[in-house]
């Protein structure tokens, strides 16, 4: 049923609804409110609290007066009172208030008092109308669509649709979940806060359950790769310049098990510097000894070249040929096609149509969160080969299993021995002279320094910019030193990075482009400007660029605001990426952590993984039980559920 069946939505308005992704009447039903206005309680004016939206009944004490502040800005002011007190109201560009709020009239207001003791733009209605005494939904809106219109549309949509119950009765009973129709009614127009919570839990459960069933189905449906026989790893281990850590050995054992079973789709999650490359190399070696080619895909050319160098050296004595395929380097394509290249290292250029493999048996994706959704889709289409995904984005295991639900997960905790944690300091502007002296000292002792800025140039808000810091460093601060600049718009990025890696530069001023793993063991100091602009996990990732050699390394976080002190101090205490990620999640909420950019899943309509962990656990348990008892969801009582899962898979 087209959305235009709703009263009040004509052709023109329909366009606005389309902007919100709403096309059918049923879309409105699952367009869940983003917030609520609680108008169930009327407070006396004396009990209003700054910053807390509330509802109150009051009498207008003076006529509304309007004044023009400047072109396009008119203020309308009045005062209202009840038996407990008086409060000022201010409206922006609201000439209608002059007639709508009459002196001596009694109205019910809803709004949020500010610190100055006034309420800006409260909503109001005469006496107790429709809205008073209820919890009202607040929807994501767009210019030209008022909450009133959205509310009325949702109301009508609820009346026009008969919600289908997809959750089987016994499951609803076991987990005390309310019926779909009750949940939908109460998510839009809750009778009270308790019923809202009941409704929400049910809908979150459903959303997470469907997602898990969908991912599980995809996992079952994934094609098997070639079956690899166990190989003698001794030559490989002998060629390695170090002994593997227990975590690395475990990861390799997991992969070997997958290989023997003929199906490997595994996520290797390990902190920056935990040694994931060696694990990937072991997997490539197994493929090689089984007569198959492997591909290792990195998100940047610089990183691909680094892998090329280190793996080329490692594999040379083992008879395994490594070739580089990037946007620029395509010479090796012939070798890839005829099988002369055993391990193709490259960027997403490896995915292009011009590259054909002789017999590809394994695809390893490094730093996979850096790849775009489209590239990942391309990767997923290639089902002939085993898949290994390596990521340093440390996310709690339960969440990893959701986000990468169609992958098995290996967690590599800890770092190879002999690493000293990077000493970290959080400093303010007054410490700058000392830090500059420290930079000089580091360089004088033969070390190298990164200076990381949050933005490229001044055009992007007031944050510290790489261009600006570079200019200043070259002209003033470090004019006797060799300073380079590297950011997303730098033309000769690779040569700058190479020059730094080879020691040709003392200082590299950069943006987060350096976040992804290039190894410069000689870099022992990292200075981050405007550190509060970064998430903790990102700072951790950045910090991983130093502390890669034997010398002690330092990380200095400049903060511009006092308020960031507590958050940043987590970096002083913690060196474990997982602990930092959990802290980040707690302090900042899931925001960009679970933005679709990161994981490529559709955004949640209602679930919030950082808040809904207990529902997540319940739904996980329920999903496992369902998969065990009725893997294809073929039983009649699961028909509706099956249809919902199929619809989700189609969307995925």
- Contact positions vs ligand ADP (CB under 6 A): 242-245, 248, 270, 272-278, 392, 416, 517, 519, 548
Q: Which residue is nearest to ligand ADP (CB)?
A: 275
Strands 106-111 and 54-60: antiparallel
Long-range CB contact pairs, 540-543, < 8 A, 24+ = 540/272, 540/394, 540/571, 540/577, 540/580, 540/581, 541/272, 541/392, 541/515, 541/577, 542/452, 542/512, 542/514, 542/515, 543/272, 543/422, 543/424, 543/571
Q: Which among 64, 59, 62 is positioned nearest to 98, based on CA atoms?
A: 64
Task: State the binding partner of 416 from Mg ion, ligand ADP, none, CB within 5 to 8 A by kind.
Answer: ligand ADP
Q: How far is the CB of 303 from ligand ADP (least distance, A)?
A: 9
Distance CA 213, CA 200 (A): 20
Closer residue to Mg ion in complex, CB, 111/517: 517
Listed in order, strand segments (DSSP E) in 226-338 are 265-270, 293-297, 322-325
Task: State the binding partner of 274 from ligand ADP, Mg ion, none, CB within 5 to 8 A by kind.
Answer: ligand ADP
CA 464 to chain centroid: 24
State the binding string over 536-575 for Mg ion (x if CB under 5 A, else -): ----------------------------------------
SS3 586: helix
Task: State the binding partner of 245 from ligand ADP, Mg ion, none, CB within 5 to 8 A by kind.
Answer: ligand ADP
Task: State the binding partner of 266 from Mg ion, ligand ADP, none, CB within 5 to 8 A by kind.
Answer: none
Q: How far is the CB of 269 from Mg ion (least distance, A)?
A: 12
Burial of residue 10, with CB atoms counted within 10 A of its CB: 0-12 exposed, 13-18 middle, 19 or more buried: exposed
Secondary-structure breakdown of the chain: helix, strand, coil percentages, each rounded to the nearest 5: 45, 20, 40
Assess 122 for contact with Mg ion (CB under 5 A): no
Q: How far is the CB of 499 from Mg ion (least distance, A)?
A: 21
Q: Which residues in 501-520 contact Mg ion (CB under 5 A)?
A: 517
Closer residue to Mg ion in complex, CB, 33/517: 517
Number of residues this chain uses to bind Mg ion (CB under 5 A): 1
Burial of residue 311, with CB atoms counted within 10 A of its CB: 0-12 exposed, 13-18 middle, 19 or more buried: buried
Q: How far is the CB of 8 from ligand ADP (least distance, A)?
A: 56
Closer residue to ligand ADP in complex, CB, 85/549: 549
The string of DSSP letters for 472-521 reads HIIIIITTTS-EEEE-TT-TTHHHHHHHHHTT--SEEEE-GGGGS----T
Query: What tokens does 368 get?
Result: 């996979």
Q: How far is the CB of 277 from Mg ion (least distance, A)?
A: 5
Task: State the binding partner of 355 from ligand ADP, Mg ion, none, CB within 5 to 8 A by kind.
Answer: none
Q: How far is the CB of 188 from ligand ADP (least distance, A)?
A: 47
Closer residue to Mg ion in complex, CB, 203/350: 350
Q: How far is CA 129 from CA 132, 153, 169, in A?
A: 6, 19, 39
What crossing angle do the helices spanning 565-573 and 536-543 adopt, rounded to 10°? Answer: 40
Beta bridge partners of 85: 82
Closer residue to Mg ion in complex, CB, 278/287: 278
Closer residue to ligand ADP in complex, CB, 275/590: 275
Closer residue to Mg ion in complex, CB, 442/553: 553
Q: How far is the CB of 556 from Mg ion (least distance, A)?
A: 24
Closer residue to Mg ion in complex, CB, 152/310: 310
Task: State the binding partner of 541 from Mg ion, ligand ADP, none, CB within 5 to 8 A by kind.
Answer: none
Burial of residue 139, with CB atoms counted within 10 A of its CB: 0-12 exposed, 13-18 middle, 19 or more buried: buried
Closer residue to Mg ion in complex, CB, 177/282: 282
Task: State the binding partner of 519 from ligand ADP, Mg ion, none, CB within 5 to 8 A by kind.
Answer: ligand ADP
**Binding residues for Mg ion (CB under 5 A):** 517
């Amino acid at each position: 049923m087209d959305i235009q069946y709703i009263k009040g939505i004509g052709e023109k308005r329909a366009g606005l609804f389309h902007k919100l992704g709403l096309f059918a009447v049923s879309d409105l039903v699952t367009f869940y409110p983003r917030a609520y206005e609680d108008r169930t309680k009327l407070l006396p004016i004396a009990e209003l609290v700054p910053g807390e939206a509330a509802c109150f009944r009051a009498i207008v004490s003076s006529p509304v007066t309007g004044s023009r502040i400047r072109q396009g800005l008119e203020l309308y002011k009045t005062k209202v009172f009840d038996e407990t007190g008086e409060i000022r109201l201010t409206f922006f560009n609201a000439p209608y208030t002059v007639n709508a709020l009459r002196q001596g009239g009694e109205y019910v207001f809803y709004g949020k008092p500010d610190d100055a003791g006034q309420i800006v733009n409260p909503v109001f209605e005469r006496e107790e109308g429709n809205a008073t005494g209820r919890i009202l939904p607040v929807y994501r809106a767009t210019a030209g669509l008022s909450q009133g219109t959205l509310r009325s549309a949702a109301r009508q949509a609820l009346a026009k649709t008969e919600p289908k119950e997809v959750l089987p009765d016994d499951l609803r009973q076991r987990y005390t979940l309310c019926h779909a129709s009750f949940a939908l009614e109460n998510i839009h127009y809750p009778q009270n806060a308790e019923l809202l919570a009941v409704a929400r839990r049910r809908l979150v459960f459903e959303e997470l359950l469907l997602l898990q069933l969908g991912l599980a189905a995809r996992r079952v449906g994934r094609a098997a790769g070639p079956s690899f026989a166990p190989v003698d790893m001794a030559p490989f281990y002998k060629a390695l310049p170090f002994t593997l850590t227990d975590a690395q050995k475990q990861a390799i054992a997991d992969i070997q098990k997958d290989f023997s079973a003929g199906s490997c789709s595994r996520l290797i999650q390990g902190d920056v510097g935990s040694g994931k490359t060696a694990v990937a190399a072991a997997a490539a070696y197994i493929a090689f000894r089984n007569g198959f080619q492997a591909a290792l895909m990195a998100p940047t050319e610089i990183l691909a070249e680094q892998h090329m160098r280190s793996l080329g050296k490692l594999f040379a004595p083992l008879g395994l040929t490594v070739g580089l395929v990037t946007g620029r380097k395509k010479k090796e394509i012939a070798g890839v096609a005829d099988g002369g290249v055993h391990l193709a290292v490259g960027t997403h250029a490896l995915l292009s149509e011009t590259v054909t493999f002789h017999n590809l048996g394994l695809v390893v994706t490094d730093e996979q969160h850096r790849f775009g959704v489209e590239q990942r889709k391309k990767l997923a289409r290639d089902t002939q080969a085993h898949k290994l995904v390596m990521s340093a984005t440390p996310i709690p295991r339960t969440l990893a299993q959701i986000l990468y639900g169609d992958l098995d997960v290996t967690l590599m905790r800890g770092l190879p021995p002999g690493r000293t944690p990077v000493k970290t300091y959080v400093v303010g502007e007054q410490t700058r002279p000392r830090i500059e002296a420290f930079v000089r000292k580091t360089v004088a002792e033969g070390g190298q320094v990164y200076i990381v800025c949050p933005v490229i140039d001044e055009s992007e808000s007031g944050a510290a910019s790489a261009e600006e810091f570079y200019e200043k460093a070259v002209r003033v601060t470090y004019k006797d030193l060799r300073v380079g600049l590297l950011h997303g718009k730098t033309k000769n990025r690779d040569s700058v990075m190479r020059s730094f890696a080879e020691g040709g530069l003392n200082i590299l001023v950069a943006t987060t482009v350096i976040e992804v793993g290039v190894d410069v063991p000689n870099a022992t100091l990292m200075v981050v400007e405007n550190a509060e602009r970064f998430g903790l996990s990102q700072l951790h990732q950045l910090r991983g660029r130093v502390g890669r050699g034997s010398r002690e390394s330092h990380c200095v976080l400049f903060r511009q605001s006092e308020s960031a002190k507590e958050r940043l101090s987590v970096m002083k205490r913690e060196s474990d990426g997982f602990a930092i990620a959990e802290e980040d999640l707690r302090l900042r909420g899931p925001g960009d952590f679970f933005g679709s950019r990161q994981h490529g899943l559709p955004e949640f309509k209602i679930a919030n993984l950082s808040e809904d962990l207990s529902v997540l656990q319940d739904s996980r348990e329920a999903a496992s039980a369902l998969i065990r008892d009725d893997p294809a969801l073929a039983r009649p009582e699961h028909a509706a559920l099956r249809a919902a899962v199929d619809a989700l898979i189609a969307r995925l």
